[in-house]
Structure 1
Amino acid sequence: MRNHRSNLWLAAGLAVFASAAHAEPTDIIVRVLSKDAKFIGTSMGGMRVTLRDAHTDEVLASGTTQGGTGDTKRLMHQNGGRRASLSDASSAKFAVTLDLAEPRLIEVEAYGPLAQLQAAHRIVSSQWVIPGRGHADGDGWVLELPGFAVDVLSPPAHIKLKGVTTVDVRVNVVMMCGCPIEPAGLWNADKYEVQAIVRRDGSPVARIPLHFTGEISQFAASLPVEVPGTYDVLVYAHDPANGNTGLDRTTFIAE
């Protein structure tokens, strides 16, 4: 019996050794591209990246994209074509080397931007990865994150206001990579719809447009306050050209 058990342990050890011996280093680079903009990197807190085996849910690696937003001219050209290279050496990325003994269907999840959690959300992609044949050449494994990072600056949440007839609503709106928005800019404020959807005590009250303030990426409007109550203000930015949308919200109490 003892010999039998010894043989089993020996066989198991040999199997593990054989698997490890045949594992090949496989390089993977993951980049996250803001929709209609640039790479999401350190300036926006990066994107949290997790690689899993899609069949077993085993976590293979995790980390955060780091680096710059990339070369604007390279990324925002008008006629580069679908095979044009988008990244350069400065472009934010998460890089890892996996030891793979067999082909694996790998799922990559990216969540962020981590410096704007009110705007953060998750994207997932999956691909087969062959040992020794990774995704590190060219741009690597590129995921596109839709949305705008909308940040309500005023009014602050849950503030109580007495005797007011209007409340100033002000927001900061940038691309998910942090790229600025202004009239006639590369990201043109005149082409985006920024509006506030207002409810009072749970009932719809108004939908008002916000206009560019003259400060880069900032939009504002004056909200009439006709009766007391608890106001919920949801502000969204929307690009009619491609459906890109982001939002934030706040509340205030009119007494």
Structure 2
Amino acid sequence: MTKPAGILTLLLMALLIPSQGWSIPAEEEPPPDPHLNEPKATTIVVRVVAHGAMVIGREVGGARVTIADAATKQILATGIQQGEAGDQNQIMRTPRTMEEPIYSSRPSAAFTTTLELNRPTFVEISAEGPLAHPASMQRTTETVLLVPGQDHTNDGIVLHLYGYLVQVERPKPGDSLIAKEDAKLRASVRTLSGTLVRPHGDWDSRKITIYGEVLIGNRIVERLQMFYSGESSSFEAPFFVPAVKDAPDGIMLRVVATDLSTGNSGMGTATYPVITERLNPALRH
């Protein structure tokens, strides 16, 4: 009769050195994913906004968006952002938590594309606008990692453009100015999204430094304090037209608006020939 200790030894040996009849079945591995290396459709929303203001939409010509592979510089998508500037009450006055959408809570302009990605890809997303105002156009670029199948929707990837739209309105650019006469400079100031800058508004002109300058060549001959005219987004100041001998090639008027609290600054310029006063022929006799 086999002793109990011998039986235990035989059982341990069977477990440690399994024979063909004592083999322990291995766990089955899952089959490989046949689509693992296939490109995945990835939807990307890009929204270009005026910093501290609204979305850059059709009112100011929209913005051009380009998405390029950061490593190879290959352009993956490009197009024009068009649409509405968004709901001013929702964007500027509605409190919200960090994860809540700001610009997509109501319809607003955006650029949307779907990329076929087969690997995580660093891309450079660039935006320039507003396209209807070349003199005030700004450009910015962000580098973002896109992951296949991970969509960027709702607000999407938001790019901010800094600045103001500043346009000299009076005197009409290119008109001749009569030497040694008093004249009035008038300019409009708006955000890059086209919204009005005025006292007590969402974009309060009292917080913005707005001034004008009279230049002969590159030399500033007079600096002007601009005041709100009472009309939509317009500011004005009187100035003195130099003598013809002092400005043989005419003058330039320059208007600058800057807000240090937001980092927004904008500039508008216009040039004018200066002429001597022409008397009415009827008054010569």
Q: Does the pair score TM above 0.5? A: yes
Gaps of 5+ in 2: 1-33, 276-285
Q: Residue 259 of structure 2 corresponds to which residue in structure 1?
A: 239
Tell me, yes or no, if the aligned pair for 2:166 and 2:189 is still in contact at 8 Å.
yes
Tell me, yes or no, if the aligned pair for 1:164 and 1:254 is still in contact at 8 Å.
no
Q: Residue 77 of structure 1 corresponds to which residue in structure 2?
A: 93
Q: Secondary structure at the match of 1:57?
A: coil
Q: Residue 63 of structure 1 corresponds to which residue in structure 2?
A: 79
Tell me, yes or no, if the aligned pair for 2:67 and 2:77 is still in contact at 8 Å.
yes
Tell me, yes or no, if the aligned pair for 2:180 and 2:243 is still in contact at 8 Å.
no
Q: Does 1:114 align with 2:131?
A: yes
Q: Residue 151 of structure 2 corresponds to which residue in structure 1?
A: 134
Q: Residue 98 of structure 1 corresponds to which residue in structure 2?
A: 115
Q: Residue 188 of structure 1 corresponds to which residue in structure 2?
A: 204
Q: Residue 13 of structure 1 corresponds to which residue in structure 2?
A: none
Within 5 Å, give how 1:165-204 maps onto structure 2: 165-204=181-220
Tell me, yes or no, if the aligned pair for 2:189 and 2:234 is still in contact at 8 Å.
yes
In the comparison of the two structures, how many residue pairs are matched? 237
Q: Does 1:39 align with 2:55?
A: yes
Q: What are the Cα deviations for residues 162-191 of structure 1, in whole angstroms up to 9, with x where unaligned?
A: 344123211111111111122211211222
1:144 to 160, 168, 173: 160
Q: Residue 28 of structure 1 corresponds to which residue in structure 2?
A: 44
Q: Secondary structure at the match of 1:190?
A: helix
Instruction: Kindly state the Cα deviation for residue 252 of structure 1 after the two structures are TM-superposed.
Output: 1.3
Instruction: Kindly state the Cα deviation for residue 32 of structure 1 after the two structures are TM-superposed.
Output: 1.1
TM-score (norm 2): 0.77
Instruction: Kindly state the Cα deviation for residue 224 of structure 1 after the two structures are TM-superposed.
Output: 1.1
Question: For the residues of structure 1 that align with 2:75 and 2:140, how far apart are their CA atoms?
Answer: 16
Q: Residue 8 of structure 2 corresponds to which residue in structure 1?
A: none
Q: Does 1:123 align with 2:151?
A: no
Instruction: Kindly state the Cα deviation for residue 81 of structure 1 after the two structures are TM-superposed.
Output: 4.4
Question: For the residues of structure 2 that align with 1:84 and 1:221, how far apart are their CA atoms?
Answer: 43
Q: Secondary structure at the match of 1:56?
A: coil
Question: For the residues of structure 2 that align with 1:232 and 1:130, how far apart are their CA atoms?
Answer: 51
Q: What are the Cα deviations for residues 194-234 of structure 1, in whole angstroms up to 9, with x where unaligned?
A: 11122213322111111111111111111112422121222
TM-score (norm 1): 0.86
One-letter amino acid of the structure 1 residue matched with residue 47 of structure 2 = R
Question: For the residues of structure 2 that align with 1:48 and 1:167, how far apart are their CA atoms?
Answer: 39
Question: For the residues of structure 2 that align with 1:49 and 1:243, how far apart are their CA atoms?
Answer: 22
Gaps of 5+ in 1: 1-17
Question: For the residues of structure 1 that align with 2:131 and 2:81, how far apart are their CA atoms?
Answer: 10
Instruction: Kindly state the Cα deviation for residue 93 of structure 1 after the two structures are TM-superposed.
Output: 0.1
Tell me, yes or no, if the aligned pair for 2:185 and 2:237 is still in contact at 8 Å.
yes
Q: Secondary structure at the match of 1:140?
A: strand
Question: For the residues of structure 2 that align with 1:245 and 1:78, how far apart are their CA atoms?
Answer: 25
Q: Does 1:49 align with 2:69?
A: no
Q: Residue 280 of structure 2 corresponds to which residue in structure 1?
A: none
Q: Residue 211 of structure 1 corresponds to which residue in structure 2?
A: 227
One-letter amino acid of the structure 1 residue matched with residue 259 of structure 2 = D
